[in-house]
Structure 1
Amino acid sequence: MSDRLGMPSAVSIALGGMIGGGIFSVLGVVARIAGTRTWLAFVVAGVVALCAGYSYNRLNAVSDRTGASVTFVQRYTNNTTIAGMVGWTLLFGYIGSMAMYAYAFGEYSVGLLGLRETLGGLARPLVSALAVVGFVALNRMGARATGTAENVLVAAKMAVLLGFGVLAAVYGHANGLLDFGITGAATVAPVVAAGVSFVAFQGWQLLFYDRESIADPETTIPRAVYVAVPVAVATYVLVGVTTTSLLTPAQIAQYGEIALAKAAQPVLGSLGFTIIAVAAVVSTGSAINATLFSAAHFADGMTDENVLPDRIASSDGDGVPQRTVLLLGIVTLGLTVYGTLDGITALASFAFLVVFGTMSALAFAERDRDRVHPLPPLLGAVGAACLFPLLCYHLAVHEPQTFGFVVLTLAAVFVVELTYFERTRLARVAKRAEDRL
């Protein structure tokens, strides 16, 4: 009997990567922007993500090398610098995702345990930091959930979210509260919110890093992506509609990160808050753990492609990249302690918009191949290209401090990337300048 993962486990990995921490982390941020049209924001982001998923699958199918983002860019552009910068951008997106999960982990834990009364403003950053430290230690010891455990965990998360969604929909319908935002003036708010929520649709691409552990990956991975993304969209839509219907805009702004748990109170009372909060803590915690594991191995693989320094890669006897895990943990800790959730979410979404848009553009460039239909890659590339500037505009106008944080962080990352990949040429220029002195 094979130990390799089948279709159910592959779908669980993809769903776990998306729903695992995404909905608990971004819902409050998205709802503040889109209001009762939050569901539309999730649909738009989901369509772009699904088109990117198609692009990944088709690039894998027509390439003579299996892999993911870095491999594809290297294969189709033959440019190590561009491939490396895409890889670094994706890696920073994973760091932003982990910081976002840790932030939500802290908020829900504080709300659940009532720590704010005793620790004040230190409560959330302290709990978030402890979560990152704990999961870094766990990964350095080589711990990881098995396929069966992941199936059970994802099933439990889905049961909680769908159970809440159905009960809340029934409650909202009975009390005339359900609001889909159909009436009223048309605005770009849902599209802007789609850009913010894009990080909630990353996770399915983790399947491409686990190819060796998946049975018949050429067939299983594409099917898992095409199942997982629509299921995630449907779940987000259900939860988004009910949450924005049961809470007023003022309440969503007040409760922020824990809006989802607060929305359960009218339906199930304090028990509803507790159930959602516990599910959020478990989900965001497992999302930190899974993303840290995959990101560390992704970074380790980047050293094989010569796009990360060899010193970063260091594995023990169990294959755990110790230095990589520690470095990722340190950066994540700093981001989750000192950043805002809006800033962290936007930062991660920017990274995935760039990478997924690039993959869609690469697939569109291969549209003459028999196995590549041009429409999905075109939608993915154009969608990402539209969401990126809209998100920039929204942040610059409505959240200038967040925009400044994002711009400075991205600029710093870009400078580090460029310096690393152009280090040889820069050294030659410096040597020539020195010789002229």
Structure 2
Amino acid sequence: MYKYGRKKLGLKELTAIGIGGMIGGGIFAVLGLSIKIAGPLAPIAFSIAGLIAFLTAYSYAKFSYYHPCMGGTIEYIAMGIEKEKLVGYLSTLLWVSYIVMLSLYSFAFGSYGAALLGFKEGTLSYTFIQHVLITAILLTFMFINLLGAEIMGKIEDFLVYIKVAILLFFTVIGLLHSDPELIFKQPWPPLHYIIAGGMIIFLAYEGFELISNAGLDADNKKDLYWAFFLSVSIVVAIYVLIAYVSVTTLPVNEIVKYKDYALAVIAEPLLGKIGFVLIGIAALYSTASAINATIYGAGRIAYLIFKHGELKEPLRKKAWNQPKEGVLMTSLAAVVLANTYSLANISLMGSLGFLLVFLAVNYSAHKLADKIGASKSLTLAGTILTLVSAIILVYVALSMNFWSQLKALLTLMVPPAIIEIVWRKISRRKMKKPKEYGIYKVIEYIEQKL
């Protein structure tokens, strides 16, 4: 994994960070579920999600150009939101959302791994092997991170290009064999289901925000600024093409039947058994890479929250290069979540968590639009669309499976509130608010020590 301060990052490297963050496992895991909701109009659903990602990337780009930093998301939220407890809640929600993403990646790893071993979705043997692989991959990278090793991170840039190449190869072959009439031969869902289908896959667009954490290592601010738009544009194009190839290659009911590893199933009629294996292998190393990187990053967030009460004064006297407690808490929480919740639950939690975090970023950008040189119209559009999309996602999810999805919503929303209230009292933390950049300015100091 890239170490801050080793070299300056140009447009190519910054764009690779964004693409690598987005194409990490979400598309492999949730494609089938999105198609189940949006039906043959999945390409439109992906486009709607892409539009929201693009508008949010605009807010990030303006923040990063105005104030390059390592604090990233939470620092940008704190710049525009003055309520200390709300910022604390959002920082904890971000950590919980990364735990959900870990669960999603490991779920995808287990699903594709079980399928490659010859087990069929829906069978008892498939479920058993799936959960064995879920637990094994999370514990493996937990121990790797506890030992301080970053094996997957050393080849991260290489993996980004391989992932993109495989997916582009899949889309090119798929376009040559697609049947556009399939879109019109199947029933179309109502508009709010199309939007919900895009929002359930929104977690696959999560990752471009990682570019902001490299702000102090960018070669120049223009490269940092344009990397957001370039990375999101490339990924949106790839995802929309994948969705189009999917619904014009196989009927929706065939895709949904094996939704846990839908992309590999779609590849099989196009490329034969080798296509199934190729996509399966791509899914395995994509999710493995994402698991390693997410444990590393989320473990540091947890350490920041729990070990020192976020901004408690003693943090300046401590060593910040071994957040082992955070790695342990994050990994074990993901093991429990991935083994007890369904793919639909995990997908709802992941997408909603990041929609709410991005809502806060867009709101903050709108509030500070004049200061950071942003368009009030675009930041307002980003704020409204993330809010409306989150509401529609929750409504459709609850209408499809009320009690199960309500449990998922409570699991996402309640723990951050409890942690913020209880831990604030235990740690007795008192955050000092710098005049210029908000209460999380000190995050830069912490990150530099990491």
TM-score by length of structure 2 reads 0.85
**C-alpha displacement of 1:294:** 1.9
The residue number in structure 1 matching 2:146 is: 140
- In the alignment, the residues of structure 1 paired with residue 366 and residue 206 of structure 2 have an alpha-carbon distance, to the nearest angstrom, of 20
Change (3 A) 1:216 1:144: same
- How far the C-alpha of 1:325 sits from its partner, in A, is 0.7
Q: Does 1:274 align with 2:274?
A: no
Cα distance per residue 1:356-404 (max 9 Å; x no partner): 0111011111233371111221121111111111111111111224312
Alpha-carbon offset, residue 48 of structure 1: 1.0
Which deviates more, 105-114 or 59-68? 59-68
Q: 355, 375, 378: which is aligned to 2:377?
A: 375
Q: Residue 113 of structure 2 contacts residue 133 of structure 2 at CA under 8 Å; is this kept in 1? A: yes
- Give the structure 2 partner of residue 388 of structure 1: 390
Match of 2:435 in 1: none
* Cα pair 2:142 2:331 within 8 Å, conserved: yes
Change (3 A) 1:313 1:286: farther
**2:63 corresponds to 1:59:** yes
Letter in 1 for 2:133: V
CA contact 2:352–2:390 (8 Å) conserved in 1: yes
- The number of residue pairs the alignment matches comes to 423
2:116 maps to 1:87: no
Deviation digits for residues 146-176 of structure 1 (CA, Å, limit 9, x no counterpart): 8872221111111111101110110115xx6
Runs of 4+ in 1 over 6 A off after TM superposition: 180-183, 308-317
5 Å-filtered alignment, 1:212-251, equals: 212=216, 214-216=217-219, 218-251=221-254
2:404 is matched by which residue type in structure 1?
Answer: T
Aligned positions of 1:13-92 closer than 5 A: 13-63=17-67, 67-92=71-96
Q: Within 1, Cα distance between the matches of 2:138 and 2:359?
A: 29
Compute the displacement of 1:300 (Å).
3.9
CA deviations on 1:14-57 (whole Å, 9 max, x unpaired) are 11111121210111110100112111111111111121121123
1:368 aligned counterpart, secondary structure: helix
Whether contact under 8 Å (1:24, 1:280) holds in the other structure is yes
Shift of the 142–4 alpha-carbon distance from structure 1 to 2, 3 Å rule, reads: farther
Give the superposition deviation at 1:280: 0.6
Whether the 8 Å CA contact 2:43–2:240 is kept in 1: the answer is: yes
Identity of matched residues, %: 27
Residue type of the partner of 2:350?
A
| CA 1:66–1:326: 2 relative to 1, 3 Å | closer
Give the corresponding residue for 1:292. 295
CA distance in 1, matches of 2:205, 2:406: 25
Q: CA RMSD in A?
A: 3.2
- With over 3 angstroms needed to count, the CA separation of the structure-2 counterparts of 1:26 and 1:309, relative to structure 1, is farther
Q: Tell me how far 1:211 sits from its aligned partner.
A: 3.3
1:259: how far off? 1.1
1:8 aligned partner, one-letter code: K
The structure-2 alpha-carbon separation of the partners of 1:348 and 1:274, relative to structure 1 and needing over 3 Å to count, comes to same
CA separation in 2, counterparts of 1:17 and 1:240?
19
Q: How many Å apart are 1:344 and its aligned residue?
A: 0.4
Post-superposition CA distance 1:309-352 (Å, at most 9, x none): 899999989x2311111110010111111111110011011110
CA distance in 2, matches of 1:178, 1:23: 22
**Pairing partner for 1:98 from 99, 102, 122:** 102
Partner residue in 1 for 2:441: none
Q: Quick check: 2:59–2:362 contact (8 Å CA) kept in 1?
A: yes
Gaps of 5+ in 2: 429-450
Tell me, in whole angstroms, the C-alpha distance in 1 between the residues paired with 2:220 and 2:16: 15
Give runs of aligned pairs for residues 399-414 of structure 1, distance below 5 A.
399-414=401-416
- Aligned to 1:247, the other structure's residue is in SS state coil
Give the equivalent residue in structure 1 for 2:168.
Answer: 162
**Distance across 2 between alignment mates of 1:285 and 1:375:** 39
Q: 2:130 aligns with which of 112, 124, 133?
A: 124
- The residue correspondences of 1:221-370 to structure 2 (distance < 5 A) are 221-302=224-305, 306-307=309-310, 319-369=321-371
In structure 1, how many angstroms separate the alpha carbons of the residues matched to 2:390 and 2:152? 36
Write the letter of the residue equivalent to 1:286.
S
Q: TM-score, normalized by length of structure 1?
A: 0.88
Give the partner amino acid of 2:58.
Answer: Y
Distance 1:279 1:66, change over 3 A: closer
Classify the secondary structure of the residue corresponding to 1:228. helix
Letter in 1 for 2:345: G
**What residue in structure 1 maps to residue 437 of structure 2?**
none
